[in-house]
Amino acid sequence: MVCRTSIYRDGNEVGDNRIPERQADKRRILLVVRWPVGGIRTFLKYVISDFPSDGYRFSVVGTCTEGMTALRSELGDRVDNWILVPDCGNEALNISIAICRLHRKQTFDAVHAHGFTSAVACLPLGLTSRSTMICTSHDIINESQFEGPKGFLRRMVLAVALGRCKSVHSVSRDAESNLLSYFPFLRGKSITIKNGVDVRLFRNCERTELHGMYGLNPSVKIIGFFGRFMGQKGFKYLVAAIEILRSDSGSPDVHVLCFGSGAFIREEQEEIRRKGLESYFTFVPFTPDVSGVMKGCDLIAMPSLWEACPLQPMEALCAGVPFIGSNCIGLSEVLEGTPALQSVAGDSKSLATGILQSLERGREPFEKFAPVAAERFDVRKTALNIYELYEKVIG
């Protein structure tokens, strides 16, 4: 079944007969976003908001989710059209149909797919037109994705989709190396443009007082977890680390505030109940702007198993908040040369030790490093590089 697609103009649903004609002096980019979650949503929020040229206009085709609703609010009139398909299990098909229909009504200078599944959704358009295609890789490829006959077919389809692109953009050196290890033929069209964040937001935001908000004793150390509840993010290792700290009578009292969502949140909550750790965790509903609550944490933990180029440590470091992350691919690249400690990925004991050491060190080294982080991770550099990529690819 093909689900109903909605088209929005100036915040109102208008149907698919009101898409404006191209203005001659504007370059038009179609952004395709199958999964507007986590880093992809935040990347678009930062880059489009800081795009250094008024000569570009954007349209978005994507899935209607909580994250996309927040992105629409954040970008406002930066985006002319939002063509959103329901989150109903047929997103890839519906997005492909929406892209092709939109292409018949309006010409775009480039189609920019965000994520591998978005690139595949663009493939029908890529095979039936001369559209200029770009793909931004926001993830790491794992060997398990290509196992068996279905995995082989998945790899071939992705190879065709990426091969149709004029440029494939990776968000870190680690991500590019990972991509080229599977698709070495992309070397001539591969480019690395590192992620960045709105450093002004995180440097200047007011600290949210979290103890009173969540009824916690002022002596309790608050650990923040910001991310989706899925295997990649390593939340179960944080749960196990808290269990280790609970059994250590010399450890400080800690409480984990969980800001995130995901398909496995119920399973994670059930495991916490099974371990008798309910009093150590609070799950917070979706929060579009986490700058103030980040600053209110005593420590932010990111026990991921793999990342491409996470924005969360950049945000925390710009805010001067103590941070501990795993030494996994992508994350270790971001944390290199910062005061953040790195635990062994997938090792709860290492994480528990790192949490204790981080809490003992306190905020001072991170507050001193914050100006350096603001210079290093400024999204305005990223936005300028994306602009230059568009100019090069469009010609």
- Interval 157-210: pLDDT, tens: 999 999 999 999 999 999 999 999 999 999 999 999 999 999 999 999 999 999
Q: What is the pLDDT of residues 202-231, one digit of tens each?
A: 999 999 999 999 999 999 999 999 988 888
Residue 309 falls inside a structural domain: yes
pLDDT category, 52, cuts 50, 70, 90?
Answer: low
3-state secondary structure of 196: coil
List, in order, residues 6 or more apart from 56 with CB less than 8 Å away.
26, 27, 28, 29, 387, 390
Rg of the chain in Å (alpha carbons): 22
337 lies in some domain? yes
> Could you tell me the CATH number of the domain that includes residue 78?
3.40.50.2000
Contact indicator for 55, 391 with CB cutoff of 8 Å: no
Number of other residues whose CB lies within 10 A of the CB of residue 146: 16
Contact predicate 337/200, CB 8 Å: no
Same domain, 228 and 107: no
What per-residue confidence (pLDDT) applies to 6? Answer: 56
| Residue 271 shares a structural domain with residue 190 | no
pLDDT tens by residue, 84-125:
999 888 899 999 999 999 998 889 999 999 999 999 999 999
- How many percent of the chain have pLDDT more than 90? 79
Same domain, 187 and 270: no
- Write the pLDDT tens digit of every residue in 299-349: 999 999 999 999 999 999 999 999 999 999 999 999 999 999 999 999 999
The reply to whether 169 and 239 lie within a common domain is no
| Of 198, 220, 199, the residue nearest 211 (C-alpha) | 220
Q: Is the pLDDT of residue 287 over 60?
A: yes
Residue 44: count of CB within 10 angstroms of its CB: 25
Return left, alpha or beta for 93; rule: phi > 0 is left, psi -120 to 50 is alpha, else beta. alpha
Only one residue has tokens 């989710």, namely 65
Please tell me the total count of domains within the chain: 2
Looking at the domain assignment, is residue 176 inside a domain? yes
Q: Are residues 165 and 301 in the same domain?
A: no
Note whether 219 and 323 are same-domain residues. Answer: yes
Indicate if 27 and 170 belong to the same structural domain. yes
Q: Residues 245, 360: contact at Cβ < 8 Å?
A: no
* Domain-embedded: residue 105: yes
Query: For residue 54, what are its two tokens?
Result: 């008024």
Domain match, 119 and 264 both: no
Q: Are residues 227 and 363 in the same domain?
A: yes
- Is 117 inside any structural domain? yes
State how far the Cα of 237 lies from the Cα of 345, in Å rounded to an integer. Answer: 9
Domain presence at residue 98 = yes
On average, the pLDDT of the chain sits at: 91
- Do residues 211 and 142 both lie within one domain? no
Cα–Cα distances (Å) from 12 to 20, 159, 258, in that order, read: 14, 38, 33
Task: Quickly count: other Cβ atoms within 10 Å of residue 283's Cβ.
Answer: 16
242 and 362: one domain? yes
Asked, for residue 148, whether it belongs to a domain, the answer is yes
pTM recorded for the entire structure: 0.88
Q: Helix, strand or coil for residue 386? A: helix
Taking 3-state DSSP, the helix, strand and coil percentages for the chain, each rounded to the nearest 5, stand at 50, 20, 35
Find the range with the poorest average confidence among 8-12, 140-144, 361-365: 8-12
Domain span at 302: 200-376
Query: Is residue 238 located within the same domain as residue 346?
Result: yes
Residue 1 lies in a domain: no
Are 27 and 217 in contact by the 8 Å Cβ rule? The answer is: no
Report yes or no: 58 and 72 within 8 Å, Cβ to Cβ. Answer: no
